[in-house]
Chain A
Amino acid sequence: MIPELGYGATIVALVLALGGAGAAAAGGRVGRVALIEAAQRAAVGVFVLVSFCFALLTYAFLAFDFSVRYVANNTNLGTPFYYRITGVWGALEGSIILWSWMLALYTLVIVLRHRRNAREFYPWVLAVMLGVLAFFLVVMTFAAPPFERQTPPPADGRGLNPLLEDTGMITHPVALYLGFTGLTVPFAFALAALVAARVGDTWITLTRRWTIVAWYFLSLGLLIGGWWSYHVLGWGGYWAWDPVENAAFMPWLAATAFLHSVMIQERRRMLKLWNISLIIMAFTLTLFGTFLTRSGVIASVHAFTQGTIGILFLSFLALVLLVALGLVALRWDALRAQGELDSVVSRESVFLLNNVMLVAAAFTVFFGTVFPLLSEAVRGVKVSVGAPFFNQVNIPLFLSLIFLMGVGPLIAWRRASVESLRRNFLWPIACGVLAAAVGFVMGVRPALAVLTVATTAFVAATIVVDFTRATRARRRAGESLLPAMGGLLLRHNRRYGGFVVHLGVLVIAVGVTGSQAWSVQTETTLRRGEHAELAGYRVRFDGLSASEESNHAKVTGTFTVSNGRVLGVLRPAKKFYPQQQSPIAAVDYRLGLTEDVYLVLGDFARDGTEATIKLQVNRLVSWIWLGGVVITLGTLLAILPERKRPA
Chain B
Amino acid sequence: MNRRTKFLAGGVVILGALAYMIYAGVTQSAVYFVTPAELQAAPVVGKAYRLGGLVAPGSMSWEPRALDLRFSLTDGKATVPVRHKGTAPDLFGEGRGAIVEGSWTPEGYFKATLIMAKHSEEYAAPTGDAQPGYRELIRTLKDRQ
**Known contacts being A304-B121, A384-B33, A385-B30, is A553 close to B138, with CB within 8 Å?**
yes
A396 cross-chain contacts in B, Cβ below 8 A: 21
With A158-B125, A579-B126, A584-B91 as known contacts, state yes or no: A389 contacts B29, CB within 8 Å.
Answer: yes
A520: interface (CB < 8 Å): no
Asked if residues A602 and B86 are in contact (CB atoms below 8 Å), the reply is yes
Distance A507 CA – B41 CA, assembled complex (angstroms): 50
Residues of the B chain whose Cβ atoms lie less than 8 Å from the Cβ of A579? 123, 125-126, 130
Do the beta carbons of B145 and A545 come within 8 Å of each other? yes
Distance (whole angstroms) from the CB of A619 to the closest CB of chain B: 21
Shortest beta-carbon distance, B77 to chain A, in Å? 17
* Complex Cα gap A23–B96 (Å): 53
In the complex, A534 has a CB within 8 A of chain B: no
Contact A392 B24 (CB under 8 A): yes
- Of the candidates B29, B96, B138, the one having the most CB atoms from chain A within 10 angstroms of its own CB is B29
A603 at the interface (CB under 8 A from B): yes
Give a binary string over A221-263; 1 marks a CB under 8 Å from any B CB, 0 the rest: 0000000000000110000000000000000000000000000
Residues of B within 8 A of A612 (CB): 64, 67, 87
A302 within 8 A of B: yes
- The 8 A CB mask of A499-528 against B (1 = contact, 0 = none) is 000000000000000000000000111000
A-B contact pairs, 13 of them (CB 8 A): A74-B122, A158-B125, A302-B121, A303-B118, A303-B121, A363-B18, A364-B25, A384-B33, A384-B50, A389-B26, A546-B142, A583-B131, A608-B141
CB pair B119 A302 closer than 8 Å: yes
Taking CB atoms, residues of chain A closer than 8 Å to B138 are 546, 548, 553, 555, 576
Q: Name the CB-closest residue of B to A600.
A: B87
Residues of B within 8 A of A (CB): 3, 6-7, 10-11, 14, 18, 21-22, 24-26, 28-33, 50, 52, 62, 64-65, 67, 85-87, 89-93, 96, 99, 101, 116, 118-123, 125-126, 129-131, 134-135, 137-142, 144-145
Residue pair A356, B14 in contact (C-beta under 8 Å): yes
Nearest chain B CB to A534 CB, angstrom units:
15
Count the A-B residue pairs with Cβ separation under 8 angstroms: how many? 170
Q: Does A566 belong to the interface (CB within 8 Å)? A: no
- With contacts A555-B141, A580-B130 known, is A392 near B67, CB below 8 A? no
Residues of A within 8 A of B33 (CB): 372, 381-384
Could you say which of A341, A390, A608 contacts B3, with CB atoms under 8 Å apart? Answer: A341
A393 pairs with B118, CB closer than 8 A: no
Q: Measured between alpha carbons, how far is A478 from B125 in the docked complex, in Å?
A: 73
Contact in complex: A161, B120 (CB < 8 Å): yes
Q: Does A481 contact B (CB under 8 A)?
A: no
- A545 / chain B contacts, CB cutoff of 8 Å: 141-142, 145
Q: How far is the CB of B117 from chain A (nearest CB, A)?
A: 8
Contact A578 B131 (CB under 8 A): yes
Residues of A within 8 A of B141 (CB): 544-546, 555, 608
Chain B residue with Cβ nearest A376: B33
| Residues in A563-584 with C-beta less than 8 Å from chain B | 576, 578-584
Q: Is A610 an interface residue (CB 8 A)?
A: yes
At the interface, yes or no: A454 with Cβ under 8 Å from chain B? no
Cross-interface CB contact of B62 among A364, A603, A606, cutoff 8 Å: A603
A489 / chain B contacts, CB cutoff of 8 Å: none
With A392-B21, A392-B24 in contact, do A523 and B120 touch (Cβ < 8 Å)? Answer: no
**B22 CB to closest chain A CB, in angstroms?**
6
For residue A305, CB closer than 8 A to chain B, the reply is yes
Most chain A beta carbons < 10 A, residue from B24, B62, B137, B145: B137
Contacts of B116 in A (CB 8 A): 301
Q: How far is the CA of A344 from the CA of B5 in the complex (A)?
A: 11
Q: Are B32 and A383 in contact (CB under 8 A)?
A: yes
A57 within 8 A of B: no
Q: B18 — nearest CB in chain A belongs to which residue?
A: A360
Q: Please give, as numbers and ranges, the residues of chain A lying within 8 Å of B3 by CB-CB distance.
A: 341-344
Taking a contact as CB atoms under 8 Å apart, the answer to whether B7 and A344 are in contact is yes
**Does the CB pair B22–A393 fall under 8 Å?**
yes
Contact partner of B121 (CB less than 8 A), chosen from A161, A341, A368, A523, is A161
Q: Does A488 contact B (CB under 8 A)?
A: no
A421-456 vs B, Cβ < 8 Å mask (1 yes, 0 no): 000000000000000000000000000000000000
Give complex CA distance A603, B69 in Å: 12
**A92 contacts B by Cβ under 8 Å:** yes
How far is B116's CA from A415's CA once the two chains are assembled, in angstroms? 53
Report Cα–Cα, A91/B86, bound state, in Å.
32
Is the pair B87, A606 in contact by a Cβ cutoff of 8 Å?
no
Collect the chain A residues with CB atoms within 8 Å of residue B137's CB: 546, 555, 606
Report the separation of the CA atoms of residues A610 and B63 in the bound assembly, to the nearest whole angstrom.
12
Closest to A156 in B: B126
Minimum CB–CB distance from A434 to chain B (whole Å) comes to 29
Is A337 an interface residue when CB atoms closer than 8 A count as contact?
no
Q: Are A344 and B91 in contact (CB-based, < 8 A)?
A: no
Q: A300 to chain B: closest CB distance in Å?
A: 9
Interface pairs A-B: 5 shortest CB-CB: A602-B87, A382-B33, A546-B141, A388-B29, A525-B64
Bound-state CA distance A590–B120 (Å) is 28
* Interface residue from A164, A553, A608 paired with B144 (Cβ < 8 Å): A608
Nearest B residue to A381, CB-CB: B32
B25, A385: Cβ atoms under 8 Å? Answer: yes
Choose among B7, B28, B31, B135 the residue that contacts A341 (Cβ–Cβ < 8 A): B7
A605 at the interface (CB under 8 A from B): yes
Given contacts A386-B29, A581-B91, A305 and B122 within 8 Å (CB-CB)? yes
